[in-house]
Amino acid sequence: MIKLEERYKEIPEPKRIPPPTEIASPSLDELLKVDDELLTEMFIELLAKASDISPEHKIHRAFISSLRELVPDEALIVKTLEANSFLPFVRFMGDEFIPFSEPLTYIDEKAELSLPASIPLYLENLVRVGIFECKYDLFYQGSEEIYQNLINKNSCDGYAFSYQFNRLEPFRPVKDGVFWKRGFYRYTLYGEKFRDACCRKTN
């Protein structure tokens, strides 16, 4: 894991500036409390970006409180899901369109999460904090194959899912009163800026 001093030295000297107190003080306080490696790296990256005069490194002080609100698995989801991408999901619905499953995604295949069963809670928190937004059928994106694979992977109570997609219907009958609804998560504008500030770019 890169240290704060090492990361600071990577900034070209002509571009180095003291980070604003409202960014530096709470970030350093959080670094003393955090014992997770990824969260530590993200606070270090945020501090480094705040110490770089480059115009693309504009840091909003709300990023500190947002990062403080994340557990390690949520931080890993943010690191794993690229900016300008989306995370499709399906949700199974019962009688009167009452959900009987949480949104089901493939993020567990992309990130080695410590508690995969908590993914719906993680995604809900990322929406609550303002990093993600959730869109349903009307805002459909992505290939139909992605959604079909999610349905096949997450069959509910022994139901077999094998049918054609119909983009015009927001709810699609499956069997015996069971329906599914599709949608996706994506970064908000705030979330994209947050990710840029806290995640180190990789080549």
Radius of gyration for the alpha carbons in the chain, expressed in angstroms and rounded: 20
Whole-structure pTM value: 0.82
- Residue whose C-alpha is closest to residue 81's, from 153, 139, 131, 43: 131
Rounded distance between C-alpha atoms, residue 46 and residue 192, angstroms: 14
Encoded tokens for 167:
């983009």
Q: pLDDT, tens digit, for every residue of 42-70?
A: 999 999 999 988 766 678 999 999 999 99
Rounded distance between C-alpha atoms, residue 61 and residue 76, angstroms: 21
Q: pLDDT, tens digit, for every residue of 88-111?
A: 988 877 665 666 678 888 999 999
